[in-house]
Amino acid sequence: MIISSIKPVKPGMLQVYSVDGRCGVFDVRPFMDSEAFQPLRTWNAFTKVRNGGYYVEWDCGADLSADTIEMKWIQLNGIHETAKNRISGSVKRARRRTVKPVTT
């Protein structure tokens, strides 16, 4: 997974968007017991997250790989709205081809 954007949504929780359009929430709180992540217990420090594409990192030096995030995130939907808008035409065309009328 390549991360397109991240957004802190509440203490210890990141909303993550991938370049392929998926969106999910990642819980950082289980990592906050380790020394590197302890500074992130404050909202101010937590919100200073930076996107490195294949990882996210904070000023305190804590970081997480995109693979770790992908393995443990809660996917909110199959495709993020921005990606949906780009491909909506082809999705609608595909649905028209695959939906068969119901006969009684």
pTM of the model: 0.71
Q: What is the pLDDT of residue 102?
A: 55
Q: For 38-93, how does the pLDDT look when each residue is reduced to its tens digit (9 = 90+)?
A: 999 999 999 999 999 999 999 999 999 999 999 999 998 755 454 444 434 434 44
Q: What pLDDT is attached to residue 76?
A: 86
> Are the C-beta atoms of residues 32 and 7 closer than 8 Å to each other?
no
The residue that leads in pLDDT, 104 or 9, is 9
Separation of alpha carbons 77 and 68, rounded Å: 19
- Asked if the model's pLDDT at residue 101 lies above 70, the reply is no
How far from 69 is each of 4, 17, 42, 74, 76, CA to CA, in Å? 13, 11, 21, 9, 14
For 42, the token pair is 């404050």
pLDDT band at 104 (very low <50, low <70, confident <90, very high): low
